[in-house]
Structure 1
Amino acid sequence: MVKKMSLDWSPWSLGKHNHVFVKFAVSLLLMGLAFRLFFSDSISISPVAEIPLLERTEAPENTIPVPLLERTEAPEAMITVTTPAPETTIPVTTLAPETTISVTTPASLATPEIGDHRPSKEKCDIFTGDWIPNPSGPAYTNETCHVIEGHQNCMSNGRPDSGYLYWKWNPRGCELPSFSAERFLELMRHKSWAFIGDSISRNHVQSLLCILSKVEKAVEVYHDKEYKSKRWHFPSSNFSLSVIWSPFLVQAITFEDNNGVATSEIQLYLDKLDKKWTDQYQSFDYIVISGGKWFLKTAIYYENNTIVGCHYCPGKNLTEMGFEYGYRKALQRVLNFIVTSSQKELVVWRTSTPDHFENGDWSNGGTCNRTEPFKDGEIDMNDVDIVLRNVELEEYAKAVAALGSDEEMKIKLLDTTRLSLLRPDGHPGPYRYPNPFAGSKGSAVQNDCLHWCLPGPIDSWNDLVMELVINS
């Protein structure tokens, strides 16, 4: 039967004498047919949809075209790329061939400078913000800094609370880095700074000296007879820092002691600048200058060496001009000098500082016993501070307009008024002197609600200076 099937299947006829040969040929044919059938089945067992190949596209220099994964139910289908390189391969599960993204390689990334101190966010108004808790506390203490004057050394004088040390100024919409003493001294190598003004300027300089002392202690190289004007030197960077006592910025003859007790009216020459600072002006690279509260004192005004009026001088038969007139005239003279000077130093005008006397003022028992900052909207400036601030902003705007397009000459505004208004807790108060309540009961205690404890809120002014002058 098998023979018959083989003969019937075979395409030609064979003789009996070729029986063995026929069997051999049939076997070969059957084996070939089986091999062909088996191979055909092996390539068509289960049809699979083809995975289309991604077209090769021209990629920009230093970029890698990476297929963007479609969102699937399995979260592990996401791709995380950390440090891509041109030869990097990324396994994917579900590809969308028509969608690609470009990943920038490290070669095209902008590398910030070492020690870059600038905020990561966009620029904003650094003078509008809030005081926020700062658990790390101040950058120095009254034990690590030895240039704090006794009137501002609140902890040594016995102030019992310390909460006022744990706040930081935080502008809205951007970050304000803390002052970097190392970077400041490095950038100010062979440079000189001067703070010109009244006792608040001296207060500010002491704060800066204390922060810089973390890196290097300054050497005092000069002081005047009353120790009100001083100069310090930092040998490692050849940086010098000066404070010049000039509370009116214009020429003045005063008749009062260190406690502010006057025996006669101040003689104020509104059209003559104080030579104590103008004679040194061109020797400085950076200047922080300010005025303010001294113009509230009783004064007789001179212009062209002639009395033109006064501020608060009853019984003198003089025209009452008011402190606003005297302050505006003085600022106009000061700012005009700065604008027209051939020297190209950078000048920072600092606005005046509000006080926080309650239930009186400096001379009649005013106090400041608060222990926390105000929040925005909880306090308003008094009429006097509003007038001072308006004069400053108006005259500063005129000075900037007068500069025109002169890019070499620069003047900037350090607006410390409103942020200082929110810190009634930062003043020495009764702790202007050591152990103020150690005396007999009922004795009057003098409160200082104008100057600032060190360390204290005024330290944040240096963060602002760093941002305004160094980082801008």
Structure 2
Amino acid sequence: MVKKMELEWNPFSLHQRVSCAKFILCILLIGLSVRLLLFSSSVLCPFGERPAKPSSSSSSSPPTNASILTAPAEEGPPKEKCDLFIGEWVPHPAGPAYTNESCGMIEDHQNCLKNGRPDTGYLHWKWKPRDCDLPLFDAKKFLESLRNKWLAFIGDSISRNHIQSLLCLLSKAEEPVIVYHDEVWRSRRWRFPSHNFTLSVVWSPFLVKAEVFEDMNGASSKEIQLYLDVLHEEWTSQLRNFDFVVASGGQWFLKTAVFWENNTVVGCHYCPGKRLAELGFEYAYRKALRLALLHVASSGFEGTFFFRTSTPDHFENGLWSTGGTCPRTRPFQPGDELPLKDVETAMKRIEMEAFGLAAARARRTGVDLRLVDSTYMFLLRPDGHPGPYRAFQPFASGGENATVQNDCLHWCLPGPIDSWNDLLMELVTPRK
């Protein structure tokens, strides 16, 4: 019988908390290895600027909570552009630009206020980069800048979560028209007619070919079959149509899966009783990311391709299916002890290694490949998840002590994920 896997990892996965000292050492080593691969933080440059050549100078500085989770900064003379991903969450009394009542495109599982979440403090924070200001999202400016363009999100339900936020913000300037959806409404496409702007979400949680045997609630009838040397045609067949892409991976690789290469089963992740080599999720994630990003770097893609790093969950006292909760109501602040997990360390290491290899190739081929390093930014927001309010009035029948399913992975809408669109606007729209 196949175990139900709902974005969880198993006893053989790395999920125990580790000390900050161990985490810092690991990420510093990652930074060193990426530097050796000629990785450059010029991936943070705004739209229209190609990544610059890496500097040959060298320096060192003590690590901070921000630097251990972000890409190593390009060395050399001070730059006009700051690192958007090193900063903190600061109070924002005005709150979100939309509400759950003004936007009808929020899915029920992320509609925390409608579902009865009683606190609203999580709505009143905004991301502030350390060395510069980040303007709030401007729907009219965004649509005008992307007139006649096509923006696509490629990934899993976190990408879908993000695009719902973007749709809510853009609908303040123009109402989107849905023009395509697949049979289960996972891949979708919208048009903004007066701007000739197209927005898509492409469901591809692994970026490589996969056979998945799950219902919409995540219950599996068979192990996922993952083909690590075959890219998913759902996104590769459309890539040349897009002007901007935001792609990501991560959480689905923690599920039970059997791995294929060269049409042969080579191992698995958490498949007891199968008599297969236990290769772990790291093996598959590394193979898939390298294949996908190197493909983009070699594809001749003429747009801008952003790779977004994974976002950590905030389950405490358990996991998705073992009673984990996320009761916090404020962001972590500088000096707070951060809940770092081995699995997040491993994912970030794999992402930086894969991106470093692809970025080096992209510089040779002229492909505009950039990093959106949001891991640290969202590690600081344990308060922004639906928690028990993924369902309508979860305590109505059993009272406050009732046992209910918590979601500490996705994000409430409105909520912290709206700040991703502040970043997106900065990255794709030129400043005057």
Common topology (TM > 0.5):
yes
Residue 460 of structure 1 aligns with which residue?
419
2:429 aligned with 1:470, yes or no? yes
Q: What is the alpha-carbon distance in structure 1 between the residues aligned to residue 200 and residue 100 of structure 2?
A: 21
Structure 2 residue matching 1:319: 3-state secondary structure: coil
Are positions 1:234 and 2:218 aligned together?
no
Aligned to 2:260: 302
Q: Which blocks of at least 5 consecutive residues in structure 2 are unaligned? A: 1-78
Matched, 1:343 2:338: no
Deviates more, 1:252-261 or 1:356-365: 252-261
Residue of structure 2 in register with 1:62 after alignment: none
Q: Is the CA contact (8 Å cut-off) linking 1:369 and 1:425 kept in structure 2?
A: yes
Aligned residue in 2 for 1:385: 344
In the alignment, residue 444 of structure 1 is paired with which amino acid? T
User: Alignment partner for residue 401 of structure 1, among 356, 360, 364?
Assistant: 360
SS at match of 1:308: strand
Aligned residues: 351
Share of identical aligned residues, percent? 61
- Pairwise CA distance, 1:315: 1.3
In the other structure, the counterpart of 1:211 is 169
Structure 2 CA distance for aligned equivalents of residues 439 and 297 of structure 1: 32
Residue 379 of structure 2 corresponds to residue 421 of structure 1: yes
2:383 is paired with a residue whose SS is: helix
1:268 aligns with 2:226: yes
TM-score norm. by structure 2 comes to: 0.79
Displacement of 1:404 in angstroms is 2.8
| Aligned Cα root-mean-square deviation (Å) | 1.3
Partner SS for 2:389:
coil
Amino acid at match of 1:467: E
Distance 2:335 2:180 in 1: 44
More deviation in 368-377 or 185-194? 368-377
* Rounded Cα–Cα distance in structure 2 between residues aligned with 1:320 and 1:422: 33
The amino acid of 1:388's aligned partner reads M
Q: Deviations over 1:188-246 (max 9, x none)?
A: 11111110000000000001111111101101111111011111110110101000111
- Distance in structure 2 (CA, Å) of the matches to 1:210 and 1:416: 21
Give the structure with higher Rg (CA): 1
Q: Look up the match of 2:208.
A: 250
Matched, 1:411 2:369: yes
Deviations 1:420-456 (CA, angstroms, capped at 9, x unpaired): 0000000000000110001235653110000000000
Residue in structure 1 matched with residue 250 of structure 2 by the alignment: 292
Once the two structures are superposed, residues 361-412 of structure 1 have per-residue CA deviations (whole angstroms, 9 ceiling, x without a partner) of 10011111110000134214210011001100111011111123444x2011
3-state DSSP class of the match of 1:339? helix
Q: In structure 1, what is the Cα distance between the partners aligned to 2:252 and 2:335? A: 27
| 1:425 aligned counterpart, secondary structure | coil
Work out whether residues 248 and 291 of structure 1, in 8 Å CA contact, stay in contact via their aligned partners in 2: yes
Please tell me whether the aligned partners of residues 122 and 174 of structure 1 are also in contact (alpha carbons under 8 angstroms).
no
**1:446 alignment partner AA:** Q
Contact 1:376 1:422 in 2 (8 A): no
Question: Is 1:445 the equivalent of 2:404?
Answer: yes
Greater length-normalized contact order (CA 8 Å, ≥ 6 residues apart): 2
Contact in 1 for aligned 2:111/2:413 (Cα 8 Å): yes
The residue number in structure 2 matching 1:13 is none
Give the TM-score of the pair, scaled to structure 1.
0.73
**Which residue of structure 2 aligns with residue 76 of structure 1?**
none
